[in-house]
Structure formats: C-alpha cells, structure tokens
Amino acid sequence: MILSISENTVNFHQKNMQRKFNAPNKTQIACYAVATGLI
C-alpha cells in the first residue's frame, strides 16, 4: 500500500512509537506490534 504522506510524517510517528513502546529502533517497534497483536 502506498500512502501519500511525507517522510517527516513517518519520522514523527516513528519517534512517538519509539517513546511509547520504549523501543530503540524500527525493528523493536515491529516486534512489539506483532507480539501485542497490533499488526
């Protein structure tokens, strides 16, 4: 799926997820999301 959002938007949401999930990187965000059933 292609979303019409800017790179800044992606980075903003990534930083929020890193803070909320206490995850140091995108891999850890994805692992947390899968483990908790978010995706």
- What is the DSSP track for 1-39? ------HHHHHHHHHHHHHHHT-SSHHHHHHHHHHTT--
Residues in CB range of 39: below 8 A, 6 or more apart? 30, 33
19 lies in some domain? yes
Residues in CB range of 21: below 8 A, 6 or more apart? 28, 29, 32
Q: What pTM value is reported for the model?
A: 0.69
Write down the pLDDT at residue 5. Answer: 93
| Number of domains into which the chain is organized | 1
Whether pLDDT at 1 is above 90: no
What tens digit of pLDDT does each residue of 12-34 get? 999 999 999 999 999 999 999 99
At residue 10 the predicted structure's pLDDT band, cuts being 50, 70 and 90, is very high
> Which tokens in the block code for residue 35?
């483990």
Rounded CA-CA distance 20/36 in Å is: 13
5 lies in some domain? no
Write down the pLDDT at residue 2. Answer: 84
- The domain of 25 spans 13-39
